Chain A
Amino acid sequence: MERLLEINDLSVDFHTRRGLLRALSEVSLTIRRGETVCLVGESGSGKTITSKAVMRLLDYENGRIAGGRIRLDGLDLTALSQNELRSLRGKKMAMVFQEPMAAFDPVYTIGYQLVETIRRHETRSKKEAWEHAVSLLARVGIPEPRIRMKQYPGELSGGMLQRAMIALALSCGPELLIADEPTTALDVTIQAQILQLLQELKEEFRMSILLITHDLGIAAEIADRVVVLYAGRVAEQAPAAELFARPHHPYTRGLLDSVAALDTEKGEKLRSIAGSIPSLSALPDGCLFHPRCPFASDKCRNEAPPLISRNGRAAACWHTDKLLTATNAEKGSARQEIELLSEKLILAEKNPSASPFESPEASPDLFQVSGLRKFYRLKGSLPGRARAHIRAVDDVSFAIRRGETFGLVGESGSGKSTLGRVLLQLEKATAGRIRFGDRELTGLRGAALREVRKDMQMIFQDPYGSLDPRWNVGDIIGEPLRVHERLTASEKKERVARLLESVGLDASYANRYPHEFSGGQRQRIGIARAIALSPKFVLADEAVSALDVSVQAQVVNLLQELQEKLGLTYLFIAHGLQVVRHLSDRIGVMYLGKLVEIAPSRELFLRPAHPYTKALIASIPSADIGAKRERIALQGEIPSPARPPSGCRFHTRCPLATARCKEEEPELRTIGSEHVAACHYPL
């Protein structure tokens, strides 16, 4: 195959206050025509910088190509002027960004922006360009493209906008499509749709794709070849199948473990990579990865390993052989484990009463929720007239047991976060009852409510926003203590130090400020604060979604450890099913404000009863390369909670829907022990 993009020894420098920083050093990669190459690595590894170097957008961000060449179809991009590059951008190479909301100009219609782009590169009449744009929108799977053309970006959902963004990128038939985390901001179900679309388009338009992602599952799904970056250097590159089967670099192996481990059941400790990616201003000597590497030796500490090619793949590691023997040894034992597990399952099939999944003893419930509703009045609807409501949570009943982890999953817009916030009384329920232990929460106000808050705490999604930037870490963690307990300054300091240590941070961090910490460390600070009062219940709302996979695994381990030590009960909310599976005893699935299925975690994954659950499970990208399954991708998007469909709310997207589903709303019915689902035709 012909080479389309060739990057040789690319180095990039950035000007900063502290002088020049080398963000990329000697990165080489090639993309052949029609090939999909994935660039993976944690945040800060230089993925986006590489893509911006190719587009030469670096020049606008204080960056400079310090060495090396980028050849696109024989043309040296590093030598071209911005004027010359402009004629290439869009025409020969185009880019799709992570935030579809931010990439469109909100004051122009989608159609205007598409037509403008087309006419800039090709001499076409307005009418022709308009027709071309409509056909592009239709091609990327946007329903009613003629109407969408006249809409503004704010009127489209994130998934639709990302499709429109792809249409925009395709509008002039580029040969290279660079997609920078194109699905990170989207729901798993939509992610699956977009990935499939990219695959189809690649064939159809005969493009090459450079896909940047932190998610190895996505790479496994669509990549032909994978390049792993670490701290601005190529750690490893290999054909996808080989990379996933046998990583040659401990970093790749670590990443794979962090992801793959999430598929495992509760209780096991996740394998993670210790520490976090080094800052560019303080890179370690020798191999950049050695401080986090289990194989590190003196040689690694002193000498940087070169990228050594063998059999069409390459890795920069002194200990590839050691790693391979270790992997082989483990593979054997893993296979045995799987066999054992499947035996257990076969037994279970034969004898359903003797469940191998020891359900936690029927402990009394900590939370009992019945008939819970939370409606928001739509802005603009007058009081007194027929009211338009967003039905964020609509008639939900369930219980959380003492000491268990209850997982809650669903697409965005399903009402899972609202449910969590109503449970903690951060928002008042519109109707329904919530019992916490032996207290009714819905009526509590003022001091009585503040008293109960001692027992229920929350870990937030955004580790950047949820810590007051003006407070030092000691004060942040000490705030609950200050509010609820009378402690002297030295007692408080002592407690804070112990809390910091219990979440794996140094006690001396108490005097530092939040912005000095990485995302994972901040999340640990948030956890320390949440457990400061030894609560009974902790709500973790997307607590690890904003973190890198390797760090995710660390935080998940910490959460499990703390649960065992402190006897916590968790409600773990996430849009990603994998993490929920690993952490939860039982899982509830939400769709448009309704709980559609509740089951023990393993049972849910093995025998989902609701078609929606099944579709959610199917849309998880798997890092297991062997399992490139045919997907039951969920069609369409979640409808607006202001006008939920009649009958079963899922019927508009359900492959099995019948007339009955359209009219009659299904009740939650018992499917098996502990397993309920709201479906007329459970699977």
Chain B
Amino acid sequence: MRESATAKAVLQKRKWELPALRSSGRRFELSRLFVAGAVAVIAFIALCAIAPQWIAPYSPTEMLADSLMQAPSAAHPFGTDYFGRDVFSLVVYGSRDSLFIGLMSVVVGGLVGGTIGALSGYIGGWFDTILMRIIDTLMTIPGILLALAIAAAMGPSLTNIVLAVASSAIPGYARVMRGQTMSINGRPYITAARSIGVSRFGIFRRHVLPNSLSPLLVMATLGIGSSILAGSGLSFLGLGLLKEIPDWGTLLSQGRGYLTVAWWICTFPGLAITLLVLAVNILGDWLRDRLDPKRKEA
């Protein structure tokens, strides 16, 4: 004997919500703890990027000839590499470029993609069709391949890496923003604004844009993590910066040859990337919840 279809429909719908709701009280506390941790991690990495000399015990260029490839110890918590550089100091100094790539490519990609998507969705018609076919074409090329092509064509520089990573993210932002704009544009309060005589641009600026922005913001926050990964990937593939102070991706790339003899050289930069991406993602989730106007407390 089983339940009726109607009851079943309700049951199935509820099943998904069940675990989350049941423990909502405790989960709430736990999530706050995670957010606090994420903020601490990001704050620390930001500090590393701004003032690495306060944190790093050694200079990133200083080669300690007497201690090559030392395992982690009290003197060198992350060990030393094949030149005798302190890996901890390298990671601390390397944060600046990684963070820069992550933030800037999201800002550039989000602005360009968001603008394309918003205009496309709001104006519609032929404009929308043409823009979206371009975006679709861009989407058929795998992101990392596109970034690779751009980085290879334009040569290795920080700006080019940012542009390469950003352009591979543009289609995603454009799609999300377009969908959101179109859905907001169909809401009754848009008709309400039209009926009192607000101009087309006024509606876009005051109603459509503010209400469409939150998914993009959340997506951008989450995008910081993947941009850092993409930037690191480019560096790892050798299309990154060749500077005195390597970024995290370059560290990974250069350390991979020693993985069997000195695992710490590329493990710790890798962990740093993981930690930062994780922290940014947790923050992104939290932001998504906070941006829901219904949960805004007066």
Contacting residues, chain A, for B205 (C-beta < 8 A): none
**A189–B199 alpha-carbon span in the complex (Å):** 40
Closest chain A residue to B199, Cβ basis: A450
A117 contacts the other chain (CB 8 A): yes
Closest chain B residue to A17, Cβ basis: B24
Enumerate B1-21 residues with CB–CB distance to A below 8 Å.
1-7, 9-11, 14-15, 18, 21
Q: Is the CB of B188 within 8 A of A169?
A: no
Q: Is the CB of B5 within 8 A of A168?
A: yes
Q: Is the CB of A466 within 8 A of B188?
A: yes
A344 contacts the other chain (CB 8 A): no
Contacting residues, chain A, for B199 (C-beta < 8 A): 450, 483
Contact of B195 among A453, A515, A516 (CB under 8 A): A453
Q: Is the CB of B191 within 8 A of A90?
A: no
Contacting residues, chain B, for A60 (C-beta < 8 A): 10-11, 14-15, 18
Q: Is the CB of A453 within 8 A of B196?
A: yes
Write the A63-90 contact mask toward B (1 if CB under 8 angstroms, else 0): 0000000000000000000000111011
A331 contacts the other chain (CB 8 A): no
Contacting residues, chain A, for B14 (C-beta < 8 A): 57, 60-61
Q: Is the CB of A512 within 8 A of B6?
A: no
Say which one of A296-304, A456-464, A558-566, A618-626 lies at the interface with B: A456-464
Say which one of B89-97, B160-168, B244-252, B290-298 lies at the interface with A: B290-298
Closest chain A residue to B1, Cβ basis: A87
Given A453-B197, A454-B197: A466 and B189 within 8 A (CB)? yes
Write the B194-216 contact mask toward A (1 if CB under 8 angstroms, else 0): 11111100100011001100000
Contact of B197 among A89, A451, A467 (CB under 8 A): A451
Contact of A465 among B3, B25, B187 (CB under 8 A): B187
A260 contacts the other chain (CB 8 A): no
Given A17-B28, A450-B199, A529-B196: A168 and B6 within 8 A (CB)? yes
A310 contacts the other chain (CB 8 A): no
Q: Is the CB of B1 within 8 A of A426?
A: no
Q: Is the CB of A89 within 8 A of B196?
A: no
Contact of B3 among A89, A168, A462, A516 (CB under 8 A): A89
B193 contacts the other chain (CB 8 A): yes
Given A451-B197, A513-B293: A465 and B189 within 8 A (CB)? yes
Q: Is the CB of A515 within 8 A of B21?
A: no
Closest chain A residue to B296, Cβ basis: A513
**A94–B4 alpha-carbon span in the complex (Å):** 8
B192 contacts the other chain (CB 8 A): yes
Give the most central of B3, B24, B202, B211: most A CB within 10 Å.
B3
Contacting residues, chain B, for A139 (C-beta < 8 A): none
Write the A587-599 contact mask toward B (1 if CB under 8 angstroms, else 0): 0000000000000
Contacting residues, chain B, for A116 (C-beta < 8 A): 5
B133 contacts the other chain (CB 8 A): no
Closest chain B residue to A446, Cβ basis: B199
B243 contacts the other chain (CB 8 A): no
Q: Is the CB of B195 within 8 A of A95?
A: no
**A429–B46 alpha-carbon span in the complex (Å):** 59
**A467–B294 alpha-carbon span in the complex (Å):** 13
A103 contacts the other chain (CB 8 A): yes
Given A60-B14, A460-B188, A462-B188: A86 and B193 within 8 A (CB)? no
**A91–B1 alpha-carbon span in the complex (Å):** 10
Interface size class of B (residues with CB under 8 A): 35 or more
Shortest CB-to-CB span from A387 to chain B, Å, is: 20
Q: Is the CB of B188 within 8 A of A465?
A: yes
**A171–B3 alpha-carbon span in the complex (Å):** 12
Write the B15-46 contact mask toward A (1 if CB under 8 angstroms, else 0): 10010011011001000000000000000000
Given A17-B24, A426-B191, A453-B196: A515 and B293 within 8 A (CB)? yes
Closest chain B residue to A511, Cβ basis: B298
Contact of A479 among B4, B10, B24, B196 (CB under 8 A): B196
Given A466-B189, A513-B298: A97 and B207 within 8 A (CB)? no
**A457–B196 alpha-carbon span in the complex (Å):** 6
Q: Is the CB of A469 within 8 A of B196?
A: no
Given A120-B2, A515-B294: A480 and B188 within 8 A (CB)? no
Write the A137-169 contact mask toward B (1 if CB under 8 angstroms, else 0): 000000000000000000000000000010011
A124 contacts the other chain (CB 8 A): no
Shortest CB-to-CB span from B185 to chain A, Å, is: 13
Closest chain A residue to B3, Cβ basis: A86
Q: Is the CB of A469 within 8 A of B188?
A: no
**A60–B16 alpha-carbon span in the complex (Å):** 10
Shortest CB-to-CB span from B166 to chain A, Å, is: 28
Contacting residues, chain B, for A480 (C-beta < 8 A): 196-197
Contact of B6 among A103, A449, A451, A458 (CB under 8 A): A103
Contacting residues, chain B, for A105 (C-beta < 8 A): 9
Contacting residues, chain A, for B21 (C-beta < 8 A): 15, 62
Contacting residues, chain B, for A467 (C-beta < 8 A): 189, 192
Contacting residues, chain A, for B15 (C-beta < 8 A): 60
Shortest CB-to-CB span from B201 to chain A, Å, is: 12
Enumerate A257-287 residues with CB–CB distance to B below 8 Å.
none
Write the A28-66 contact mask toward B (1 if CB under 8 angstroms, else 0): 000000000000000000000000000101001110000
Q: Is the CB of A95 within 8 A of B6?
A: yes
Q: Is the CB of B298 within 8 A of A516?
A: yes
Closest chain B residue to A108, Cβ basis: B5
Contact of A470 among B1, B3, B24, B211 (CB under 8 A): B211
Q: Is the CB of B7 within 8 A of A89?
A: yes
Closest chain B residue to A480, Cβ basis: B196
A314 contacts the other chain (CB 8 A): no
Closest chain B residue to A85, Cβ basis: B3
**A95–B4 alpha-carbon span in the complex (Å):** 9
A113 contacts the other chain (CB 8 A): yes
A121 contacts the other chain (CB 8 A): yes
Shortest CB-to-CB span from B73 to chain A, Å, is: 49
Given A62-B22, A467-B189, A516-B298: A120 and B4 within 8 A (CB)? yes
Enumerate B228-260 residues with CB–CB distance to A below 8 Å.
none
**A105–B8 alpha-carbon span in the complex (Å):** 11
**A668–B245 alpha-carbon span in the complex (Å):** 87
Shortest CB-to-CB span from B195 to chain A, Å, is: 5
Q: Is the CB of B6 within 8 A of A94?
A: yes
Closest chain B residue to A97, Cβ basis: B6
Q: Is the CB of A479 within 8 A of B193?
A: yes
Contact of A483 among B6, B191, B197 (CB under 8 A): B197
Q: Is the CB of B7 within 8 A of A57?
A: yes
A126 contacts the other chain (CB 8 A): no
Contacting residues, chain B, for A91 (C-beta < 8 A): 1, 4
**A85–B11 alpha-carbon span in the complex (Å):** 12
Contacting residues, chain A, for B294 (C-beta < 8 A): 469, 515
Listed by A's residue number, 26 A-B pairs whose Cβ atoms lie within 8 Å are: A17-B24, A17-B25, A57-B10, A57-B11, A62-B21, A86-B1, A87-B2, A87-B3, A89-B3, A90-B5, A117-B5, A120-B1, A120-B4, A165-B6, A168-B6, A450-B199, A453-B195, A453-B196, A454-B197, A465-B188, A479-B193, A480-B197, A483-B196, A483-B197, A513-B298, A526-B192
Nearest first, the 5 closest Cβ-Cβ pairs linking A and B are: A90-B4, A60-B14, A87-B1, A453-B197, A450-B197
16 additional A-B pairs beyond A15-B24, A95-B6, A469-B293, beta carbons within 8 Å, are: A15-B21, A15-B25, A17-B28, A60-B15, A62-B21, A86-B1, A86-B7, A91-B4, A94-B6, A450-B198, A453-B196, A469-B294, A483-B197, A511-B298, A512-B298, A529-B196
